[in-house]
Amino acid sequence: MWKSVDKQWKSGAKWGKVVDKHPLDGWTMVICNPIAGAGRGRAWLTLVQRSLDIAGVTYAFEVTTARGHAARIARAAVLAGCSAVIAIGGDGTLFEVVNGVVNPAEYGTSMPGDSRVAVGLVQAGRGSDFGRSIGIPSDVEAACARLVAGRTAQVDLGYVTYSALNGSRKSRYFANAAGLGFDAEVTVRANAGSRMLGSTIPYLSSLVRTLGSYTNKPIAVSIDGGEPWTARANSIVIANGQYFGGGMRIAPEARLSDGILDVTLLGDLGKIELVRNVPRVYDGSHVTHPKVKTFTASTVEVTSTERLLLQADGEVLGMAPASFHVVPGALRMIV
């Protein structure tokens, strides 16, 4: 469908700043993950289309069919001159769309630096922690009303360079949070589980199953280029937003537009100690635990002498060594 729209806009499209324009003043690409939220994604697509039709928005849409497809669709739409990309799905779908919009190194020819293609989100996924962090309504009709209203904000992104599972070095942006260690191991199990039970139950059941075999890892951490320090840790989370894991308030002081990353180190917690403190992560009070440390940073480097898995926005990417930095105001988000 969208190829005809592509031709329509290619003839007259010019790259330029669109920050002061309504984000849907142009043509919009809608990307739907049909299996997000136990199939809600496809149902939400119909509601989004209805809202855009009523508002007179010119749009095209595609339904994803495989991992990585959303990123490729978003990248092609940006290069074809779209003004906005709307993701219907959860954090994983948004992760792909963000990288498709802003990551030229991975998805082809460079995008001009003065382009500000807006990104919108309709939450249909199991987690949608970024939606919680930025305050996008979970109700689909309210979310559609936000899209049509068109208010935008420039939000920060995190950028991580890491070792892929095949040993190569890769980089990705992330909108919400990245984690190394136990958190990433839990994510592996949670992603393999049923999508019918929402986000909290699969994450907690995966946490309990992972706990039995997991041992805390030795890590070395450098903050803002400083001298590395070492610790034995359960997890280290580098957060842009406040929430992860389906509603856990892992970084209660994090702000999406403050130009810094919030680092939460879960130290050498024993298994029983960890389970007892899980409820505290939901209200953010875990940060007062003596084995939990918090920092703010522009750059973070993490290494380990053992296998230390990495996840970003709920997608398992690879492992340490990993370096992180904040990219202030990198994403124009419809809020």
Return the H-helix or E-strand segment holding 42.
helix 40-55
Of 320, 298, 303, the C-alpha closest to 311 is 320
Task: Output the 3-class SS for 290-330.
Answer: CCEEEEEECEEEEEECCCCEEEECCEEEEEEEEEEEEEEEE
3-state helix, strand, coil in the chain (%, to 5): 30, 35, 35
pLDDT in tens, 99-129: 999 975 565 445 545 458 999 999 987 668 9
Rounded distance between C-alpha atoms, residue 109 and residue 96, angstroms: 17
Q: Phi then psi for 314, rounded to 5 degrees?
A: 80, 5
DSSP string across 1-28: -HHHHHHHHHTT------TTS-TTSSEE
Cβ-contact 32, 89 below 8 angstroms: yes
Task: Enter the tokens of residue 152.
Answer: 């935008």
Number of neighbouring beta carbons within 10 Å of residue 223: 17
Cβ-contact 127, 314 below 8 angstroms: yes
Cβ-contact 234, 266 below 8 angstroms: yes
Cβ-contact 115, 225 below 8 angstroms: no
| pLDDT value of position 107 | 52
| pLDDT value of position 115 | 58
Q: Distance of alpha carbon 10 from its chain centroid, rounded?
A: 30
Query: Model-level pTM greater than 0.75?
Result: yes
Number of neighbouring beta carbons within 10 Å of residue 293: 16
pLDDT in tens, 17-34: 445 689 999 999 999 999
| pLDDT value of position 302 | 98
Task: Enter the tokens of residue 34.
Answer: 């049909």
Rounded distance between C-alpha atoms, residue 164 and residue 201, angstroms: 29
User: What residues have CB less than 8 Å from 288, skipping those under 6 apart?
Assistant: none
| pLDDT value of position 200 | 56
Residues of the chain short of pLDDT 70, as ranges, are 1-20, 104-115, 126-127, 192-204
Phi-psi region of 18 (alpha: psi -120 to 50; beta: other; left: phi over 0): alpha
